[in-house]
């Protein structure tokens, strides 16, 4: 599977490049979706007075002004990732839906390693998965 690595940040809705514990790395991105109506421009958040509206609840096509709800739009996108697995150390590629799932109590994008089938969690920055402590018998 050959991934389409973005040329520019303008092509991406989401992009991250970070290291994983103990020895792994992940480069993940989500390409902007072409407008389903006119199929010419890439949809993005609305622009008001020359600035992008950060907390927008809709995505808008800049050429035909077609709008789509945020939840509906983001569910139709896929995240692509190139990684070095922190579990087996092998390099690989993977895709997943662009929706955070609960992984060890923390919202994360979860990608499965194509070699060892372990889950690789891409959490929000500074979030650490919860570690289960063994119960001590009295």
Q: Give the range of the structural domain holding residue 118, as residue numbers without chain letter.
A: 1-33+77-125
Q: What gap in Å lies between CA 40 and CA 66, rounded to an integer?
A: 12
| pLDDT tens-place values along the chain, 138 residues long | 578 888 888 889 999 999 888 789 999 999 999 999 998 899 999 988 889 898 999 999 999 999 999 999 988 999 999 999 999 999 999 999 999 999 888 899 999 999 999 999 998 876 777 777 777 776
Residues 84, 91: contact at Cβ < 8 Å? yes
Q: Are residues 66 and 94 in the same domain?
A: no
Q: C-alpha distances in angstroms, 112 versus 93, 103, 104, 122, 130?
A: 9, 12, 15, 11, 19
Q: Are residues 14 and 27 in the same domain?
A: yes
- Strands of 24-31's sheet in order across: 12-20, 24-31, 78-84, 91-97
Q: Are residues 25 and 13 in the same domain?
A: yes
- On whether residue 10 sits in a domain, the answer given is yes
Q: How many distinct structural domains can be found in the chain?
A: 2
Q: Are residues 86 and 27 in the same domain?
A: yes
Check residue 4 and give its pLDDT: 84
Q: What gap in Å lies between CA 64 and CA 12, rounded to an integer?
A: 20
- On whether residue 135 sits in a domain, the answer given is no
- On whether residue 136 sits in a domain, the answer given is no
């Amino acid at each position: 599977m050959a991934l389409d690595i973005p040329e520019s940040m303008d092509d991406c809705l989401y992009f991250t490049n970070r290291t994983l514990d103990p020895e792994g790395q992940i480069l993940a991105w989500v390409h902007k979706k072409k407008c389903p109506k006119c199929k010419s421009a890439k949809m993005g958040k609305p622009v008001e007075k020359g600035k992008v509206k950060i907390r927008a609840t809709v995505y808008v096509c800049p050429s035909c002004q077609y709008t789509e709800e945020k939840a509906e739009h983001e569910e139709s996108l896929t995240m692509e990732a190139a990684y070095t697995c922190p579990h087996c150390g092998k390099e690989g590629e993977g895709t997943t839906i662009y929706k955070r799932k609960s992984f060890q109590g923390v919202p994360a994008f979860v990608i499965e390693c194509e070699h060892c089938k372990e889950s690789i969690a891409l959490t929000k920055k500074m979030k650490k998965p919860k570690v289960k402590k063994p119960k001590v018998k009295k």
